[in-house]
Amino acid sequence: MVGQTHRMAQSRPEIHVMGAGPTGALTALALGLHGQSVILFDPLTASELQSRSRAYAITHSSRRLLSSLGLWNDLRDTLVPFRDLDLRDDATNSRVLFGQDDLASTNQTHDGIGWILDHRPLMSLLLARLKGNGNVAMYLAQPCPDPSADSLIVAADGPRSPTREAWGIAHWGIRYRQGCLTAKVALRGLAHDRACELFRPEGPLAVLPLGQGNFQVVWSAPWQRCEQRSTLQHSAFLDQLAAILPQGIEPDRLLDQPRAFPQQWLLARRFHRGRGVLIGEAAHRCHPVGGQGLNLCWRDVDGLLRAVEQGGSAATIARNYGISRWLDVLQVGLATDLLVRVFSNRQPLLLPLRRLALLLLKQFSGLRRLSLRAMSDGPMQVWQALPN
């Protein structure tokens, strides 16, 4: 490992990472830990980068990456595991419960189907580690030096990516009619280690445990309804939420101000150009159903690390990375889009199919394993042996 790190430092180009969100910060740290010389730039200050009120669903593919970078144990105290995933379809009154037994055997030894991680502790750990890494120079809210002629440039500057635009990489996108509303809520009647995904005709509703009886609600619905709900008095918001939660689950208190976000499926036409690569939401964005977004971004980080390890010039690394990431990103985008289209309605022709799909999942553990494997390890890993 040390020899390999030394070899990488000697022969690899310098890397400029544009954007220090969860993807860019992890990319810079991962490359720095592999002995690479990295410059990280973001127009925001460190405290602005940490201040988002959001919680991420973390899957086993992310756990593996964070463990390999020595971050997992330091996040342990802030990670909230969920050991069950309760999937319900409102319109057909069907329900499937995924448990830890449905995980791949190497994942079963870790405590959880997945984890919920708050943005702030994640970013504060990443920024602290970046600060302490001698290979990474951080330029937050201050001008950064121009990349040299042979640098690899990594655009991690989010879904609106000015770098993607500047490179002339077109993107393909669908703006969903649905938006999404996020809120932190204290709930009664739901196990502290259970996550719920409830398919409703107006859009999916995810309820994710944050510990101590608190939950993150990700509530998809037509955009105007999301905007309107985000401005409701707290008591009126809780009343509306109470009306749609499964029986027995009751909201007690609202813990932050609900925020509405538009939703889109975005896919850059290519993930590399010349010496540049697009990574994370600069390259793709999908519907939050299933909590795939950040995990997919972090599989990009893993893909970039592999491409850097393979070696070559900045252009070779960029091409190898760009080619390697397409299939995973496309499959997750298609799967989330299909889920939203098929389950966000009461189409009489679709209802029997939905009922059958959930019945098969409920009856056959092999099907549950397969779908959980695709969700937690990524569709590319379904037929492959998982590393420990």
Interface residues with ligand FAD (CB under 6 A) are 18-24, 41-44, 49, 54, 56-57, 156-158, 162, 180, 182, 218, 261, 280-281, 288, 291, 293-295, 297
Supply the DSSP symbol for 140: E
Residues 6+ apart with CB under 8 A from 135: 9, 31, 32, 33, 35, 36, 37, 38
Q: How far is the CB of 160 from ligand FAD (least distance, A)?
A: 7
Q: Give residue for tokens 């909230």.
A: 80
- Which token pair is 382? 């379904």
Residue 32 buriedness (CB in 10 A; 0-12 / 13-18 / 19+): buried
Q: How far is the CB of 85 from ligand FAD (least distance, A)?
A: 13
Q: Which is nearer to ligand FAD, 21 or 112 (CB)?
A: 21
Q: How far is the CB of 332 from ligand FAD (least distance, A)?
A: 11
> Cβ atoms within 10 A of the Cβ of 138, count?
20
Q: How far is the CB of 259 from ligand FAD (least distance, A)?
A: 7
Q: Is 193 helix (H, G, I), strand (E, B) or coil?
A: coil
Q: Which is nearer to ligand FAD, 23 or 94 (CB)?
A: 23
Q: Which is nearer to ligand FAD, 89 or 300 (CB)?
A: 300
Q: How far is the CB of 363 from ligand FAD (least distance, A)?
A: 29
DSSP 3-25: HHHHHHHHHSPPEEEE--SHHHH
Maximal CA-CA distance, the chain:
63
Q: Which is nearer to ligand FAD, 54 or 354 (CB)?
A: 54
Q: Which is nearer to ligand FAD, 115 or 343 (CB)?
A: 115
The C-alpha atoms of residue 254 and residue 249 are separated, in whole angstroms, by 14
Q: How far is the CB of 142 from ligand FAD (least distance, A)?
A: 12
The residue whose Cβ lies closest to ligand FAD is 21
The C-alpha atoms of residue 115 and residue 329 are separated, in whole angstroms, by 21
Q: How far is the CB of 224 from ligand FAD (least distance, A)?
A: 16
Q: How far is the CB of 218 from ligand FAD (least distance, A)?
A: 6
Q: Is-contact 82 316, C-beta < 8 A?
A: no
Q: How far is the CB of 296 from ligand FAD (least distance, A)?
A: 7
> Cβ atoms within 10 A of the Cβ of 384, count?
10
Q: How far is the CB of 357 from ligand FAD (least distance, A)?
A: 23
> Cβ atoms within 10 A of the Cβ of 45, count?
12
**Amino acid letter at 103?**
L
Please choose, from the candidates 19, 21, 24, 49, the residue with its C-alpha nearest in 3D space to the C-alpha of residue 163. Answer: 19
Q: Which is nearer to ligand FAD, 49 or 266 (CB)?
A: 49
Q: Which is nearer to ligand FAD, 23 or 107 (CB)?
A: 23
Query: How many alpha carbons lie under 13 Å from residue 369 in its C-beta half-sphere?
Result: 13
Q: Which is nearer to ligand FAD, 18 or 318 (CB)?
A: 18
Q: Which is nearer to ligand FAD, 8 or 226 (CB)?
A: 226
Q: Is 322 helix (H, G, I), strand (E, B) or coil?
A: helix
**Amino acid letter at 267?**
L
Q: Which is nearer to ligand FAD, 7 or 175 (CB)?
A: 175
Please choose, from the candidates 239, 90, 294, 260, the residue with its C-alpha nearest in 3D space to the C-alpha of residue 178. Answer: 260
List Cα–Cα distances, 27 to 95, 156, 267, in angstroms: 38, 9, 20
**Amino acid letter at 176?**
Y
